[in-house]
Amino acid sequence: MRLVPGAAVRHGIADHEYVASYYAASRHAAPAHPVLAGEVDCDVCVVGAGLAGTSTALHLAGRGYRVVLLEAARVGWGASGRSGAQALPGFAAGEDRMEALLGRDDARRAFDISVEGLDLMQALIARHAIDCDYVPGQMHVAVKPRQVTELRHWVERLHRDFGYTSLRFVPQEEVRSLIASGRYLAGTHDTRSGHLHPLNYTLGLAAAAVRAGARIYEGSRALGWQGGERVRVRTAGGSVQCRYLALCGNAWLGDAAPPLARRIMPVGTYIVATEPLGQARARALIANDAAVTDINWVLDYFRRSRDHRLLFGGRVSYSGLDPFNTAHATRQRMLQVFPQLRDAKIESSWGGFVDITMNRAPDFGRLAPNVYYLQGFSGHGIALTGIAGRLLAEAVAGTAERFDIFSRITHREFPGGALLRRPALVLAMAWYRLKDLL
């Protein structure tokens, strides 16, 4: 495998190729899918071949539906193939906000569904023999003294109110025996969570969907749709006629569904991959091979790769613009955690967009009785997307109780319209960055 040193972050899809990244360079061979030409007919058209879309297609095809999956670029081209790849329970909104949005009982049901998502992810990997470097174990770590208390209370709450006992509190001495950094004051360790190669996982789900009977078209952006008893989805080269439509494009849907685009904000996040460090040196950095994230608002996250690199991400951008010299800036954050890597070269750097909602809760619902959507995973997409696809398939098949737990969550549009919503969010995020320093 050869990585491109200092690879630039690219967001255009004119060439329909993957953004240069460690994941793209180490992906498994997968067949290219044709561009849609002419008219096709199916039961369900799914838009977006990321994790949400491929899971939806797989679960629908497994139920016997004729499925067409449209992808504007390549399978896993967006966040699903570029992320920090930490599989977590729960939601970015947190347990208190989910209770405020849903009530106590439905918040507990929603949390249980998210945990089911972790189990489903592992079951899909095993059932479909997906080689995606899955490793169990994830840690949250505290940088400030107040965060130590926050983590301790979080563990107690999940045990007491949600029956989630896979998570335990880890005191400072143990954290420092597991992570070779003096930066962290305490942490948690979750044996049910984990991390994986996100692009290979997405490609594996797509291959499983095809084996189940789904048809995938790449380079076939959905330009819009017309509703009715039969829905028509337009692309540049043709159209799809379907009974049901599932919009799973998240931050990349754009003009295909303007009402949805106004309810999410694409937020940029960036990752670097070191050169191979060697087995002993990589193991010394994270002794238990867990994925790690701190709990700052502007957070750092990192993990080891199968070939003994450190993958380190963070440096969130709410402006929609790539910060100057992303690789250098992210490397500097890495060195704050692991100064012993000062001699390690950065072989790859890349970025992508995470789709966040105003309340950080997932946004699942309907735009019409036969038009469904999944979006707003807000950084919790690795496991949550898979179970969301199962819930959407259940709803199409006539059992919508679990899907409708999430569809009842109230979501607001980002304020300021197309011109002002980003500047307003940037100002708000500046306040949270300041809080991280206190």
Residue 112 tokens, joined: 């249980």
436 versus 399: which is more confidently predicted?
399
**Residue 394: which of 135, 113, 87, 143 has the closest Cα?**
113
Collapsing DSSP to helix, strand or coil, 187 comes out as: strand
Token code pair at residue 389: 């696809």
pTM of the model: 0.92
What is the structure's pLDDT at 2? Answer: 34
Give the pLDDT band of residue 267 (cuts 50, 70, 90).
Answer: confident
Q: How far is CA 206 from CA 49, 135, 245, 420, in A?
A: 8, 21, 18, 37
**What helix, strand, coil percent values describe the chain, rounded to 5?**
40, 25, 35
On whether residue 11 sits in a domain, the answer given is no
| Residue 251: inside a domain | yes
Number of domains comprising the chain: 1
What is the average pLDDT across 386-390? 98
Distances (CA, A) of 128 to 63, 121, 173, 235: 16, 11, 40, 31
Residue 423 pLDDT: 52
Classify strands 67-70 and 215-217 as parallel, antiparallel or unpaired: parallel
Average model confidence (pLDDT) for the chain? 90
Q: State percent of the chain over pLDDT 70.
A: 89
pLDDT tens-digit map of 418-435: 544 545 444 444 434 444
The answer to whether residue 427 is domain-embedded is: no
With respect to residue 438, please indicate whether it lies within any of the assigned structural domains: no
User: Is the pLDDT reported for residue 319 higher than 70?
Assistant: no
Structure confidence at residue 255 as a pLDDT band (50, 70, 90): confident
Q: Which domain holds residue 413?
A: 22-419
Domain holding 413: CATH number? 3.50.50.60
> CB within 8 A of 171, min separation 6: which ones?
186
Three-class secondary structure of residue 371 per DSSP: strand
Q: Tell me if 299 is assigned to some domain.
A: yes
Tell me the average pLDDT across 175-187. 98
The angle at the Cα of 122, spanning 120 to 124, to the nearest 5 degrees, equals 65
Asked, for residue 237, whether it belongs to a domain, the answer is yes
- Contact call for residues 79 and 251 (beta carbons, < 8 A): yes
> Which has more pLDDT, 38 or 251?
38
Which of 397, 353, 348 lies closest to 372, judged by CA? Answer: 397
Tokens of 91: 């939601």
**Residue 431 lies inside a defined structural domain of this protein:** no
- For residue 213, being part of any structural domain is answered with yes
